[in-house]
C-alpha cells in the first residue's frame, strides 16, 4: 500500500514538474510605446507568436526556455524564462538598431585654376562626339531582316510567354523579394532557422502560398503595413516549409 502511494505521489510530481506553462508579457519600445507585430520565438519548441496592438504576447513555455524577440529595425532581444516569469508577466524593451550611413565619395571641387578645372569638368571633344554618335545609333530602329530566321532555321512559335507580374506593373516578384529581404534583414530569416542561401526561395514559397501583393507590384510600393502582413503570413507558412537536407 505504501509502495502504491509513493508511486502515485511520484507520478503527480513528475507531471507537475514537466507541465507546459504559458508565458505572458508585454513588449515596448525604449520610448515606452507599445510594440505591435513583434515576432516571439521559443527556441526549444520553435513556437512563434506575434504581439498584439497593445504589445502583449502569450507563448507556451517553461522555466529555462529561451525566448527570442524579433522586429525589423530593432535589436534582437533574447530572454531566458525564470520562475518569476511563469508567475508574473514578462516585460521586454526593444531598442532601435543603429543605422550605418554608407560612405559617400566626395568628388574634387573647383580649385580656381582654370586649366585644372577645365580638365576635371569639361569632357574632351572626342568623348562628347562618341557619346552623341552612340545616342543616335541607339535611337535607330533595327532592320527586321536582321532578326529574321534563315532558310531551314527553327522558329520558336509566338505565344503569351511567361512573365513575373503584369507588364503594366512597376515591380515584379523579384523586386518585391529584394525589398522584403533588405527591409527585414537576413537576421530576421536566419532567426527563423531559414539558411541564408534559401531566403529568396522561402520568400517565393510564402508568395506561392497566397500572399496578396497585386497592389504592391502595380504601384511599386510596399508599406510598413504590407511588411507586417507578410510577417504574419510567414507564421502560417513556415510550419510546412522544410529546409532540404544536403546529401553527403
Higher pLDDT residue, 8 or 102?
A: 102
CATH second-level architecture of 17-94?
Sandwich (2.60)
In this prediction, residue 180 carries a pLDDT of 94
In this prediction, residue 5 carries a pLDDT of 46
CA distances from 180 to 147, 156, 218, 222 (A): 39, 36, 16, 8
What is the helix (H) or strand (E) element at residue 26, kind and residue range? strand 21-29
Question: Could you tell me the pLDDT band of residue 151, with boundaries at 50, 70 and 90?
Answer: low
Mean pLDDT (whole number) for 97-105: 62
In this prediction, residue 150 carries a pLDDT of 58
- Cut 0.85: pTM above it: no
Question: Could you tell me the pLDDT band of residue 246, with boundaries at 50, 70 and 90?
Answer: very low
pLDDT beyond 90 at 179: yes
| Percentage of the chain lying above the pLDDT 90 cut | 41
CA distances from 44 to 68, 182, 192, 237 (A): 11, 28, 12, 19
Mean pLDDT (whole number) for 2-7: 50
223, 214, 211, 210: which is closest to 166 by C-alpha? 214
The residue ranges of every structural domain in the chain are 17-94, 173-240
Residues found in the chain: 248
CB of 18 within 8 A of CB of 65?
no
All three cell numbers of 217, joined, read: 507590384
Mean pLDDT (whole number) for 10-22: 56
CA distances from 34 to 19, 29, 71, 205 (A): 31, 6, 13, 31
Amino acid at each position: 500500500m505504501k509502495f502504491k502511494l509513493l508511486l502515485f505521489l511520484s507520478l503527480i510530481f513528475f507531471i507537475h514538474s514537466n507541465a507546459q506553462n504559458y508565458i505572458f508579457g508585454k513588449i515596448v519600445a525604449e520610448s515606452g510605446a507599445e510594440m505591435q507585430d513583434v515576432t516571439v520565438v521559443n527556441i526549444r519548441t520553435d513556437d512563434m507568436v506575434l504581439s498584439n496592438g497593445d504589445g502583449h504576447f502569450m507563448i507556451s513555455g517553461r522555466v529555462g526556455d529561451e525566448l527570442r524577440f524579433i522586429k525589423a529595425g530593432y535589436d534582437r532581444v533574447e530572454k531566458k524564462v525564470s520562475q518569476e516569469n511563469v508567475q508574473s508577466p514578462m516585460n521586454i524593451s526593444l531598442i532601435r538598431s543603429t543605422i550605418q550611413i554608407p560612405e559617400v565619395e566626395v568628388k574634387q571641387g573647383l580649385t580656381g585654376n582654370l586649366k585644372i578645372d577645365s580638365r576635371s569638368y569639361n569632357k574632351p571633344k572626342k568623348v562628347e562626339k562618341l557619346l552623341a554618335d552612340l545616342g543616335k545609333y541607339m535611337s535607330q530602329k533595327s532592320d527586321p531582316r536582321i532578326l529574321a530566321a534563315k532558310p531551314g532555321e527553327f522558329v520558336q512559335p509566338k505565344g503569351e510567354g511567361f512573365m513575373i507580374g503584369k507588364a503594366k506593373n512597376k515591380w515584379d516578384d523579384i523586386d518585391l523579394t529584394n525589398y522584403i529581404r533588405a527591409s527585414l534583414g537576413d537576421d530576421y530569416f536566419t532567426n527563423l532557422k531559414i539558411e541564408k542561401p534559401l531566403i529568396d526561395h522561402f520568400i517565393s514559397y510564402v508568395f506561392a502560398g497566397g500572399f496578396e501583393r497585386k497592389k504592391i507590384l502595380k504601384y511599386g510600393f510596399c508599406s510598413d503595413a504590407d511588411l507586417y502582413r507578410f510577417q504574419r503570413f510567414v507564421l502560417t507558412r513556415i510550419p510546412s516549409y522544410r529546409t532540404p537536407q544536403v546529401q553527403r
